[in-house]
Amino acid sequence: MKSKSSFVCTECEYKSIKWMGKCPSCGTWNSLEEVVEVSESAGLQKRVAVRSNPPVLLDEYDMPEYMRFETGYGELDRVLGGGLVHGSVVLISGEPGIGKSTLLMQICNILGQKRTVLYVSGEESCGQLKLRAKRLGVKSDKLFLLTETNIDVILSECDKLKPDVLIVDSVQTVYTDRFTSAPGSITQVREGALACITKAKSEGLSVILVGHVNKEGGISGPKVLEHMVDAVLYFEGERRQSYRIIRAIKNRFGSTNEIGVFEMTDEGLTEVANPSEAMLSDRPKNVSGNCAVCVMEGTRPIIAEVQALVTQTPFSSPRRTANGIDYNRMCLVIAVLEKRLGLKFYQNDVYLNVTGGLRLDEPSADLAIALALISGITDRVLPDDLIAFGEIGLSGECRAVSHFDYRVKESSRLGFNTIVFPKKNSKKLPVGIKANIFDISNLYDTLKLLKEPKNQEV
Ligand code: TYD
Ligand code: MG
């Protein structure tokens, strides 16, 4: 077999024939890795992921009945777009210890009632897997365990067992003898994943791959991995906190906006059906710098709390940290508050945090961020039952948000009696809402919401 090697950047896939310390394309240091390319005749011809079939008319194609099956966890099924699709390949990634193996073992319990499942682990022994399964109360007579890292052996076992679901934990541990590079290298990860995808597409087997993340938080291995699979799910959350959020970064069979919320307990992961209540538990009362917000995560409104701590800075350039909020978005809101309301943030350090480990990516969180910052710097408290949502423009104007009625109803359901929102949304206010409403057109209007400073009870 004729093969030649080249060096590929793990970050941007820049290709070079010789090794370099720094990638000339993206500037990352030490990211070039040797990749052995197989000559065309030996490799590429075999790499047809889907079996070639003659063209078929859309109207005449008979769709198989078993297109989706549920994993038993509504939170995960929603993220998958309604269940695991037959013949699909799903990549689940996340930081070490976040609970990927735990979640997969738990879904085996339900999948393994009716279907044959092969759980391949390259990281734990059968004894360790059994121990975890016992702890999680997994009982199935159709669940098979295999500790193997050679992908060719894994697939030949698959041929013998003919499982409906194959779980590979993790794709970074599998390797093939056809290449000499170490497991976890670009070539090995790509070949391992490709072998699984080919199997899935040709035999209608559903495959779940576990992927490790690199130090920047991306999925380690080749970038093409994300293009090759049907869905990429990301499991996130603060390891020290109990909430875990699963979101789809890519999904060929559903929306990528949905999230699923779980809680890590002694008995494994349990679903959190009502995330807003969970995010608001242990909420401090009558404290400056706090403001509740309602964001949309897919089709679901979720309430979280933004906390801002604003303290006088001893440094010449003040400190800014943002946890759960985009750093640049925080800087933008601070700049608008400085310019439009004359607040002196340049003399203060700012620490922003979102409780419950949620990430607020939506611009509708701007208003709550601004209110938390105003409350933090003035030390005036916002009413405890106040909730705010709205996008802020650079002139300090408040812009309309989408899914307005969902947000108002969820806020009202959770007992928020003071709702602050953009004036442009006020025409669509749902009927029968008893809360005090403040529709505002710019940031000046928010100042009247702050209560006089008083002794704080924490
Ligand atoms: P694990 O699924 O092994 O993580 P990953 O596969 O993503 O690396 O999860 C390990 C963590 O989960 C570990 O820190 C302990 C915790 N855990 C519980 O809190 N309860 C449980 O019932 C189990 C099985 C794990
Ligand atoms: Mg694991």
- Measured from the CB, is residue 98 less than 6 Å from ligand 1? yes
The reply to whether the predicted model has a pTM over 0.95 is: no
- Measured from the CB, is residue 94 less than 6 Å from ligand 1? yes
CA of 94 to the centre of ligand 2 (A): 10
Over residues 234-257, the pLDDT tens digits come to: 998 877 778 898 989 899 988 887
Q: How far from each other are the two terminal CA atoms of the chain, in whole angstroms? A: 71
How far is 137 from 266, CA to CA, in rounded Å?
Answer: 12
Fold of the CATH domain 67-273? Rossmann fold (3.40.50)
Q: Is residue 290 very low, low, confident or very high in pLDDT (cuts 50, 70, 90)?
A: very high
Nearest CA to ligand 1 atom 22: 268
Nearest CA to ligand 1 atom 21: 268
> What atom in ligand 1 is closest to the CA of residue 98?
7
Tokens of 132: 């975890």
Give the ligand at the shortest distance from the Cα of 106. 1
Is the torsion defined by CA of 267, 272, 275, 278 positive or negative?
negative
**Ligand 1 pocket: which of 91, 102, 262 to mutate (most atoms within 8 A of CB):** 102
What's the rounded mean pLDDT across residues 311-321? Answer: 93
- Measured from the CB, is residue 92 less than 6 Å from ligand 1? no
| Ramachandran angles phi, psi of 337, nearest 5° | -65, -40
Domain 278-449 has CATH 2.40.50.100: no
Residue 152, pLDDT above cutoff 60:
yes
Residue 48, pLDDT above cutoff 60:
no
- Measured from the CB, is residue 102 less than 6 Å from ligand 1? yes
| pLDDT for the residue numbered 116 | 93
CA atoms within 13 A on the CB side of 376: 26
Residue 40, pLDDT above cutoff 60:
no
CA of 200 to the centre of ligand 2 (A): 22
Residue 13, pLDDT above cutoff 50:
yes
- Measured from the CB, is residue 137 less than 6 Å from ligand 1? no
Per domain, the residue ranges of the chain are: 1-39, 67-273, 278-449
Over residues 434-443, the pLDDT tens digits come to: 888 899 999 9
Which residue type does 242 have? S
CA of 264 to the centre of ligand 1 (A): 8
- Measured from the CB, is residue 138 less than 6 Å from ligand 1? no
Q: Which of 51-55, 91-95, 406-410, 433-437 has the lowest mean pLDDT?
A: 51-55
Please name which of 73, 165, 64, 160 lies closest in space to residue 114, comparing C-alpha atoms: 165
Which letter does DSSP use for residue 409 in this model? H
Buried b (16+ CB within 10 A) or exposed e, 289-325: bbbbbbbbbbebbbbbbbbbbbeebeeeebebebebb
> What atom in ligand 1 is closest to the CA of residue 235?
7
Greatest mean pLDDT among 24-33, 66-75, 202-211 lies in: 202-211
Give the ligand at the shortest distance from the Cα of 262. 1
Give the ligand at the shortest distance from the Cα of 124. 2
Nearest CA to ligand 1 atom 23: 268
What's the rounded mean pLDDT across residues 329-349? Answer: 94
Neighbours of 182 (CB within 10 A): 10
Give the ligand at the shortest distance from the Cα of 267. 1
Distances (CA, A) of 224 to 186, 190, 227, 254, 307: 10, 8, 5, 20, 38
